[in-house]
Amino acid sequence: MSEALTVTVMCGGPSEEREISLRSGRAVVQALRSLNYKVFELDPADPDWTLPEGTDVVFLALHGTYGEDGEVQRRLEELGVPYTGSGPEASRIGFDKLETKRRCEAAGLPTPPYAVLPLETRSWPSGWEPPVVLKPIVQGSSIGLRFVNRPEELPEAMAESGRFGCPMLMEAFVRGREMTVGILDDRPLPITEVRPRDGRYDYDHKYTPGGAEYLCPAPLPPETARRVQEAALGVFRAVGARDFARVDIMLAEDGTPYVLEINTLPGMTELSLLPKAAAQAGYSFAELCRKMVEMAWARRKR
């Protein structure tokens, strides 16, 4: 019986998203214990962490650096312990927004036009018109995200977003409707439309109750929904992800689904979007957690 497995839930860690990760971890621990799994918790803030004895599967509830970037996955591969989610290389690619865009382009998937800005950039790049979106190339979803509406706003935005120490990705702002698509067991879940209260879906809106309205399933014509799901599944495959992920897409006014990014370890909190979509597909939160554990355990048995 899968319930006889011992699962270690890794959450917390050293990233900017530590507090969100701890919330994800608490929710997962509670769900797995309700299913009679034996559950340990492990916070890998200390780089010399060791797994509790008897761990059969690791449930990764980590977000951001040392969670989504492939490093903890590489360590678990060395230990020979199965874990939830994508492997080291797919995690690394998915965490790198520039590399993800390159994979989208190679696969023929629409993604907004972009440029890479060095940290020292303070002048407006030639050939670009505002508004644009700034993102650190290697940080968690929404961390350091800034909307720039006028050229004179760029220096302050670069200084704020550049504090993460990596080059910035500048994207053309796509006018349209924001969609997110959960992938579970390599299949797309019902689409969620995100409607932020003041029109901009940043970190604060994402993790503040009432900061956005979520419509799942999104009110879309069937053909449009199919294109959005195909784009999400396309980037999932392009980066080599497995088991589950969440893909953010901007549905432009002309109906084009532009891939923004992929999150290979999406949130598992009470506000998280993958559990919302899974619920529409018939999975309770506990059943979703069980499914993730079982997919990881199946790799060990193979």
pLDDT, tens digit only, all 302 positions of the chain:
456 899 999 999 998 889 999 999 999 999 999 999 999 999 999 989 999 999 999 999 999 889 999 999 999 999 999 999 999 999 999 999 999 999 999 999 999 999 999 988 889 999 999 999 999 998 766 678 899 999 999 998 888 777 777 889 999 999 999 999 999 999 999 999 999 886 554 444 444 555 689 999 999 999 999 999 999 999 999 999 999 999 999 999 999 999 999 999 999 987 799 999 999 999 999 999 999 999 999 998 65
The verdict on 231 and 260 lying in the same domain is yes
Tokens of 74: 């590489």
CB 39 within 8 A of CB 29: yes
The verdict on 230 and 157 lying in the same domain is no
271, part of any domain: no
In the block, tokens 């897409």 appear at 249
How far apart, in Å, do the first and last CA atoms of the chain sit? 17
Residue 175 DSSP symbol: P
The verdict on 200 and 256 lying in the same domain is yes
240, part of any domain: yes
Residue from 15, 141, 142, 161 carrying the catalytic annotation: 141
Tokens of 37: 């799994």
Active site residue 261: yes
Other Cβ atoms within 10 Å of 185 Cβ, number: 12
Residue from 37, 207, 258, 283 carrying the catalytic annotation: 207
Active site residue 141: yes
The verdict on 153 and 184 lying in the same domain is no
The verdict on 41 and 158 lying in the same domain is no
Active site residue 248: yes
The verdict on 231 and 141 lying in the same domain is no
Last residue of a domain, one of 172, 189, 215: 172
For Cα atoms 96, 79, 58, give the angle at the middle one, nearest 5 degrees: 70
The verdict on 123 and 160 lying in the same domain is yes
Residue from 18, 75, 227, 246 carrying the catalytic annotation: 246
Q: Could you tell me the residue range of the domain that residue 294 belongs to?
A: 2-85+283-301
The verdict on 11 and 72 lying in the same domain is yes
Q: Rounded to an integer, what distance in angstroms lies between the CA atom of residue 33 and that of residue 137?
A: 37
Active site residue 2: no
Active site residue 237: no
Residue from 13, 25, 94, 267 carrying the catalytic annotation: 267
Active site residue 267: yes
56, part of any domain: yes
> How far, CA to CA in Å, does 234 sit from each of 2, 247, 268?
31, 10, 23
Tokens of 90: 């797919």
Residue from 66, 261, 272, 283 carrying the catalytic annotation: 261
The verdict on 120 and 131 lying in the same domain is yes
Which CATH number belongs to the domain containing residue 195 in this structure? 3.30.470.20
The verdict on 98 and 229 lying in the same domain is yes
The verdict on 60 and 122 lying in the same domain is no
What are the backbone angles phi and psi of residue 41, rounded to the nearest 5°? Answer: -115, 140
Residue from 25, 248, 258, 290 carrying the catalytic annotation: 248
272, part of any domain: no
Residue from 17, 96, 171, 178 carrying the catalytic annotation: 17
Residue from 263, 272, 283, 290 carrying the catalytic annotation: 263
The verdict on 203 and 249 lying in the same domain is yes
Which CATH number belongs to the domain containing residue 164 in this structure? 3.30.1490.20
Q: Phi-psi region for residue 76, left (φ > 0), alpha (ψ -120 to 50) or beta?
A: alpha
- Is the torsion defined by CA of 23, 29, 32, 36 positive or negative? negative
What's the pTM value of the predicted model, to 2 decimals? 0.92
Other Cβ atoms within 10 Å of 47 Cβ, number: 9
Three-class secondary structure of residue 183 per DSSP = strand
Other Cβ atoms within 10 Å of 233 Cβ, number: 18
Q: Rounded to an integer, what distance in angstroms lies between the CA atom of residue 10 and that of residue 26?
A: 10
As for how many domains the chain has, the answer is 3
Active site residue 283: no
